[in-house]
């Protein structure tokens, strides 16, 4: 049956790449974002790929707008099968250079936007006893870094909120599933439009991955929502495990390296447009697409992701090989 999938933040980055992927699957794809130019371009890509698109301009910080978008989705396509929360915004600056209003705005979009999307999805999925919610998280939801306090705080909140919800769904024996995909540094347009008070152009901390890698992980998680979390990229694994094992050492390391590693050598225009309050790809604006400006440095594959998606077969194969090795060793000793 044709899936109906809602994607927030669908006009660029991971959301845009995920919409393209579901378009190739022939899905009904409902695209939510603020910027009309990017939203319309994403809808065309879905249609050209073989899917059916519905673009709904939406600010996820507005709960009523998100609920109305969900209603439009079901009026058009019927029950929502998968809801994917991706939309976010951020401020690149030391904490004491972020205003209360700016911090609140990042929190309302990057955290409460996920809450609003999950509420809208759950209201429709839970009575039916089926459906999947995918939260696109970040390694920075487990390990905060300097210059991104608002974003890191919001991503930490997404993890805590989702854990609580998962427990409630298990208690209710609900057929609705929720999972989180923790992302690495990704080559998205956000680094060209984020509100930044850094002297140089912001960049993702290498290694950098293309958004299509992340889109494949999101779709896999939606297809296999039984796992609590999926980790994308070896850097995500290292960050999350490093935080568990040696958080104080990471504090000192990031204090030394975290400023320079998040900036290129290019000076930044302090008056460049940013998308904190208004989209930079509004009506008659520029479509930024899924990719940012770091194509020449971004990886299009993740061996770690491939392995993690095949953990069962790989574990079985490892067991067979270890058993065979043990058998050979016993046979040699007997001889």
In a domain, 297, yes or no: yes
Per-chain mean pLDDT for the chain: 93
Our count of domains for the chain comes to: 1
**Six-digit token string for 185:** 């540094």
pLDDT band at 132 (very low <50, low <70, confident <90, very high): very high
**For position 324, what pLDDT does the model report?**
53
**For position 316, what pLDDT does the model report?**
54
Cα–Cα dist 144/248, whole Å: 12
CATH code, domain carrying 128:
3.40.50.720
**For position 312, what pLDDT does the model report?**
61
Location of structure tokens 């609920």: 67
Instruction: List the domain range (segments joined by +) for residue 282.
Output: 4-301
In a domain, 331, yes or no: no
In a domain, 315, yes or no: no
Cα–Cα dist 65/120, whole Å: 10
Would the pLDDT of 239 be above 90? yes
**pLDDT: is 8 or 270 the higher one?**
8
Would the pLDDT of 317 be above 60? no
DSSP string, 20-77: HHHHHTT-EEEEEES-HHHHHHHHHHHHHHT-EEEEEE--TT-HHHHHHHHHHHHHHH
Would the pLDDT of 190 be above 80? yes
Would the pLDDT of 331 be above 70? no
pLDDT band at 308 (very low <50, low <70, confident <90, very high): confident
pLDDT band at 335 (very low <50, low <70, confident <90, very high): low
Could you tell me how many residues make up the chain? 335
Active-site annotation holder among 151, 209, 220, 230: 151
Min mean pLDDT across 49-53, 106-110, 117-121, 303-307 is at 303-307
In a domain, 44, yes or no: yes
**For position 329, what pLDDT does the model report?**
53
- Cα 279 → chain centroid: 19
Would the pLDDT of 39 be above 90? yes
Would the pLDDT of 119 be above 70? yes
In a domain, 231, yes or no: yes
pLDDT band at 176 (very low <50, low <70, confident <90, very high): very high
In a domain, 30, yes or no: yes
In a domain, 334, yes or no: no
Would the pLDDT of 309 be above 90? no
Would the pLDDT of 322 be above 50? no
Mean pLDDT (whole number) for 32-61: 97
Total-model pTM: 0.91
The per-residue pLDDT for range 65-108, each reduced to its tens digit, is 999 999 999 999 999 999 999 999 999 999 999 999 999 999 99
151 is catalytic: yes
In a domain, 326, yes or no: no
Strand ordering across the sheet containing 131-138: 52-57, 28-33, 4-8, 82-85, 131-138, 176-183, 229-231
């Amino acid at each position: 049956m044709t899936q109906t999938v809602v994607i927030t933040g669908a006009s660029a980055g991971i959301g845009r790449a995920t919409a393209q992927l579901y378009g190739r699957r022939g899905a009904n794809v409902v695209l939510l974002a603020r910027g009309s130019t990017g939203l319309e371009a994403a809808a065309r890509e879905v249609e050209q790929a073989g899917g059916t698109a519905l673009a709904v301009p939406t600010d996820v910080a507005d709960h009523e707008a998100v609920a109305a978008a969900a209603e439009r989705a079901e009026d058009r396509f019927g029950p929502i099968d998968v809801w994917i929360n991706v939309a976010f915004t951020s401020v690149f600056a030391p904490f004491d250079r972020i205003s209360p209003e700016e911090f609140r705005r990042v929190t309302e979009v990057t955290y409460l936007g996920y809450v609003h999307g999950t509420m809208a999805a759950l209201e429709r999925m839970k009575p039916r006893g089926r459906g999947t919610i995918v939260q696109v998280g970040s390694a920075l939801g487990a390990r905060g870094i300097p210059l991104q306090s608002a974003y890191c705080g919001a991503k930490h909140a997404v993890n805590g909120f989702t854990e609580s919800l998962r427990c409630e769904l298990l208690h209710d024996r609900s057929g609705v599933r929720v999972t989180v995909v923790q992302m690495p540094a990704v080559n998205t347009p956000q680094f060209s439009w984020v509100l930044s008070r850094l002297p140089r152009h912001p960049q993702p901390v290498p290694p950098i991955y293309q958004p299509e890698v992340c889109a494949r992980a999101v779709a896999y998680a939606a297809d296999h929502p039984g796992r609590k979390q999926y980790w994308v990229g070896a850097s995500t694994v290292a960050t999350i495990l490093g935080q568990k094992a040696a958080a104080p050492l990471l504090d000192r390391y990031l204090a030394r390296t975290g400023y320079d590693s998040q900036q290129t050598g290019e000076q930044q225009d302090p008056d460049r447009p940013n998308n904190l309050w208004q989209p930079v790809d509004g009506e008659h604006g520029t479509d930024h697409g899924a990719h940012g400006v770091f194509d020449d440095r971004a990886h299009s594959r993740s061996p770690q992701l491939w392995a993690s998606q095949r953990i069962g077969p790989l574990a079985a194969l490892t067991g067979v090989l270890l058993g065979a090795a043990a058998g050979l060793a016993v046979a040699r000793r007997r001889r």
